[in-house]
Amino acid sequence: MKVLTALTAGLLTALTVQDASAAPVATPQQGAEEVRLAPAAKNVRLRTTLPGTERAISIAFAQYGRQDVAFVSSESGLQTFDVTDVDNPKLLDHLTKQEMALPGDDPSQRFWENEDINVDPKRKLAFLAREVNSFGRALPGDRPTGNYIVSAVNPADLKILAFHRQNTGHTSTCVNDCQYLWTAGRDRSAENTGRIYVTDIRDPRNPKELPVSVDVRGAGKITHDVQVDAMGIAWVAGDDGTRGYWTDGWHRDPLTGMFRKATAADPVPYAGGNVPQIDMPTRFTHNSFRPVGRTLFDGPRPTRENPAGSLLLHTEEAFGSSTCKDQGRFVISSLRGTENGEGWGSTPKEMKTVGVWSPDDKEGTLPGDVTCSAHYFDVQNRIVAYSWYEQGTRFIDISNPAKPIQIGYWRPDAATSWAPYWHKGNVFVADIVRGVEIVSLTKGAYEAQENGTNVQLVTGGPVKVKVGPGDKQRLPLVPHPDYGYACPMIASRGGCGPGSSSCC
């Protein structure tokens, strides 16, 4: 592969979540005995894995005629796979972290993090958000953040078109037919407010940041991610809840009462707000999904109480409970009563909670000090595929939004599930320890959905195993140096201390 232009700017285990000042992680000796939590799976089968995808973080897909291509973003860069024959995937290309390194980077360190990769399906562009501590960058030195824009016109020959530096770089989302990027994360400017940065990418070789701020939140707050629903409304998740915006067309602005044209740089508020603290104690929403339009039948069944388009599914990422009993849960909220700007301002209105789910003990979650928080999810045919870190990937039927039930689960050995993606009837799981695994639900899952049967997780508890050369190893999570546990990281085996680049 070739870089067209020079870059601008030159676990299913019994893991103990550690502080950033934790001692170095010991590497188990081959043949040594190790205590692990027993694997568990129900109504799910493994089809295959994508080779060489350890430290996988996010996945996207694009169609090239009859060729089906998966984009896998990880600590090592960006990989493309031909998954037309899902049981026989083929690696097409790997844009390595060495090729992505900027002047001053240490290419031996990890690329971080591009937590929610977006791909322009028409122009075949991939967008990779770069975080503050990529490539071992640490204070007091310069730590560039921003977005790589990658040409994937030929998925077997990835080319970096540009690196656009800006004051954040956690997640980037296409809006308005991928003519603009909305980038979220911690605002590293002097204002230090939660906000969305808007970049004009109509000329992908020359991205232009617009002199505006969208969805501005209070000092010290952050925006985390953006999801665009089937009506084109962009939902911004972060501190103090989730809010939606029109980014195109003429709409009534509920904050002024006037009709005006919405743009990517000057969107019109739609609805949204905060979540009652009893349901989301940290008031930090990680990501969201609104079933509407062509995706309506992926979400809960509409009713008179919860009509079509009135529900918002979203995540609290929080790590105060190893079973997510009290926080870090999946929440379904009603948007009714927030359509007139009630969710904006210094005290956003609370949305009514319709349903809450977690992999708490009542579902049979393993005991012990393991890492649990709701993270990314994807929805198809009223089934949510959901990542819960060491509590694995759960499959939840949300036909009745007030009573979500588990119909299957996938928690193999040493798993740390980061993000699952429905794709053509299968689920691609980005596991930051195991890599990308492609799984399918079995007949039992659909029978459980049809019968309304809650499927409990069954496990034999901790087991002693001998570590072999092919075994996955326990890799604890540690706080992100800047985000804390709002964005945990896998600890390196060289240790992780304050200001250290080894955990970054």
Buried residues in 344-379 as b, exposed as e (16+ CB within 10 A): beeebbbbebbbbbbbbeebbbbebebbbbbbbbbb
Residue 184, in any domain of the structure: yes
495 domain residue, yes or no: no
Task: Answer whether residue 1 is part of any domain.
Answer: no
Look at residue 472 in the predicted model and tell me its pLDDT: 73
Distance CA 347, CA 134 (A): 35
25 in a domain, yes or no? no
Contact 114, 129 (CB under 8 A): yes
3-state secondary structure 406-437: EEEEEECCCCCEEEEEEECCEEEEEECCCEEE
**Domain for residue 23, yes or no?**
no
**pLDDT value of residue 361:** 60
Rounded Cα distance between 440 and 217, Å, is: 40
Q: How far is Cα 180 from Cα 207, in angstroms, rounded to an integer?
A: 9
Q: What is the pLDDT of residue 491?
A: 72
Q: With the CA atoms of 25, 27, 33 and 38 taken in that order, what torsion angle do they form, in degrees rounded to the nearest 10?
A: 60
224: left (phi over 0), alpha (psi -120 to 50) or beta: alpha
| CA separation for the pair 59, 74 (Å, rounded) | 9
Angstrom distance (rounded) from CA 89 to CA 86: 6
Classify residue 13: in a domain, yes or no: no
Q: Are 410 and 387 in contact (CB under 8 A)?
A: no
Look at residue 8 and tell me if it is in a domain: no
| Confidence (pLDDT) at 349 | 94
- Residue 150, domain extent: 33-490
pTM of the model: 0.91
Total domains present in the chain? 1
499 domain-assigned: no
**63/392 Cα distance (integer angstroms):** 29
**Torsion angle in degrees (nearest 10) through CA of 177, 118, 225, 435:** 160
203: Cα separation from own chain's centroid: 27
pLDDT of 489: 79
Q: What is the pLDDT of residue 322?
A: 83
What's residue 363's pLDDT?
46
Q: Each residue of 310-322: pLDDT tens digit?
A: 999 999 999 988 8
- Tell me what pLDDT residue 484 has: 75
Q: What is the pLDDT of residue 30?
A: 54
DSSP code string of 364-397: TPPPSS-------EEEETTEEEEE-BTT-EEEEE
Reading the chain (504 residues) residue by residue, the pLDDT tens digits are: 444 433 433 322 222 222 222 333 444 555 666 666 678 899 999 999 999 999 999 999 999 999 999 999 999 999 999 999 999 999 999 999 999 999 999 999 999 999 999 999 999 999 999 999 999 999 899 999 999 999 999 999 999 999 999 999 999 999 999 999 999 999 999 999 999 999 999 999 999 999 999 999 989 999 999 999 999 999 999 999 999 999 999 999 999 999 999 999 999 999 999 999 999 999 999 999 999 999 999 999 999 999 999 999 999 999 988 889 999 999 999 999 999 999 998 889 999 999 999 998 654 444 456 788 999 999 999 999 999 998 899 999 999 999 999 999 999 988 999 999 999 999 999 999 999 999 999 999 999 999 999 998 877 666 666 666 666 776 767 877 777 776 787 776 443 333 343 333
The CATH number given to whatever domain includes residue 353 is 2.130.10.10
- What's the sign of the alpha-carbon dihedral 160, 164, 170, 173? negative
